[in-house]
Amino acid sequence: MSTSPPTAAELEAAHRAGRLEWPIEKLTAKALDIRRDIITLLGKSQTGHSGGPLSCADFGTVLFFHELNVDPADPRWPERDYWHFSIGHVTPVIYSLMAERGYFPLRDLMKFRAFDGHAQGHPSRHDTPGIEVSAGSLGQGLSVCCGVAMASRMDHHPRRVYCVMGDGEQQEGQIWEAAMFAAHYKLDHLCGIIDYNHKQIDGDVEDIMGIKPLADKWRSFNWNVIECRGHDIADVLRAFAAARVHAGRPSVIIADTVMGQGVSYMAGDYRWHGKPPKPEQADEALRELGTSYAEWSARLLAH
């Protein structure tokens, strides 16, 4: 038996084993399913956030169904890439992506925020398989991802590390501590994604506490900045590919998005940040998305 260490090619092959690398058409269709899941689970729970999950739906789908090397049947698979949503409040999209990718049954989405379910209001390592670090207090996730990236480097592991952040979250000081750290240690296997939907709970980001010029801020922290149209699947694919090949610096993808994207009465309205649609509103939204509450909730409960 050979005891020689794996070659770079073997490591790369293992690292690609869990990637789906779906084409644009399949990603587009899956992103629609994710939106339907989000609205259905919020319609059922009558508690939770609507706006951010919908703005994350497209790049989230690309991340989970094209980019990430993971094995949902074995969430702690040693070869896995690491993903983390620093914005813990977007659990509707996190759980929808996880369930659609196969981490747990779709029916679990119908127990979002319920006492007898595992799907906590904000992600919990203790409760949900596949959640690696709990989140919910904003600004902490990029630091966690820096730690994962450092551990991977110490182990000479080719793991890539993805951290989804919010635009309002950029107001937290810890984000910039972590940004400084990642650039200092040249963590080029770390990729941040900012859901730049321009809204936060109290209103427009620029009215509450301006973050412009955001790209310049990250550039000045020595990050490779990639701007993209966050609801254009092809452009998101381009952004992830650019981050993957960039060496020597961490990359951040600033995804320009619309809060509530996909549901006409929510799109661009900050008041949908933190509230769910009422049952009749959920049904209206789902009809806009080509289904109905009855049809889609039945699909979720059947799996």
Partner 1 sequence: MTLAISLPEKAEMKKTREGFGRALVDLGARDPRIVVLVGDLSESTMVHFFAEKFPERFIQVGIAEQNMCGIAAGLAAMGKIPFFSTYGAFASCRAADQIRVTVAYSNLNVKIGGAHGGISVGPDGATHQAMEEISIIRSIPNLSMIVPCDYWETYKATVAAAQHEGPVYIRFGREDVPVVTGERTPFTFGKGEVFAEGSDLTVIACGVMVYEALRAREALEREGIGVRVVNLHTVKPIDRDLIARCARETGAIVTAEEHQVNGGLGGAVAEVVVRQHPVPMEFVAVMDRFGQSGKPAELMDAFGLRAKDVIAAARRVLERKRARA
Question: How near is the Cβ of 149 to partner 1 at its closest, in Å?
Answer: 7
Distance CA 22, CA 58 (A): 13
Question: How near is the Cβ of 137 to partner 1 at its closest, in Å?
Answer: 4
Kindly state the DSSP code that residue 158 receives in the 8-state scheme: -
- Nearer residue to partner 1 within complex by CB, 42 or 144: 144
Question: How near is the Cβ of 205 to partner 1 at its closest, in Å?
Answer: 22
List the interface residues with partner 1, window 111-140 (CB under 8 A). 124-126, 132-137, 139-140
- 74 belongs to the binding site for partner 1 (CB under 8 A): no
Alpha helices by DSSP H, listed for 89-246, are: 91-101, 141-154, 173-184, 205-209, 214-220, 233-245
* Structure tokens belonging to residue 281: 């509103």
> In angstroms, what CA-CA distances link 183 with 40, 201, 227, 250, 251?
40, 30, 18, 6, 9
The three-class DSSP label of residue 117 is coil
Question: How near is the Cβ of 177 to partner 1 at its closest, in Å?
Answer: 4
Distance CA 42, CA 37 (A): 8
- Total residues contacting partner 1 by CB under 8 A comes to 33
Question: How near is the Cβ of 239 to partner 1 at its closest, in Å?
Answer: 23
- Nearer residue to partner 1 within complex by CB, 82 or 104: 82
Chosen residue from 141, 192, 260, 262 binding partner 1 by CB under 8 A: 141
Return the residue matching tokens 């690309």.
62
User: Which strand (E) or helix (H) includes residue 101?
Assistant: helix 91-101
- Are the C-beta atoms of 118 and 104 separated by less than 8 Å? yes
The length of the chain in residues reads 303
List the interface residues with partner 1, window 144-163 (CB under 8 A). 144-152, 154-155
Distance CA 136, CA 267 (A): 24
- 68 belongs to the binding site for partner 1 (CB under 8 A): no
- 177 belongs to the binding site for partner 1 (CB under 8 A): yes
* Structure tokens belonging to residue 261: 């994207």
Question: How near is the Cβ of 80 to partner 1 at its closest, in Å?
Answer: 10
What is the per-residue binding string for partner 1 in 10-29, x denoting contact by CB under 8 A? --------------------
Return the residue matching tokens 């919910």.
136
Chosen residue from 42, 62, 164, 178 binding partner 1 by CB under 8 A: 178
> What residues line the site for partner 1 (CB under 8 A)?
82, 124-126, 132-137, 139-152, 154-155, 173-174, 177-178, 180-181, 184
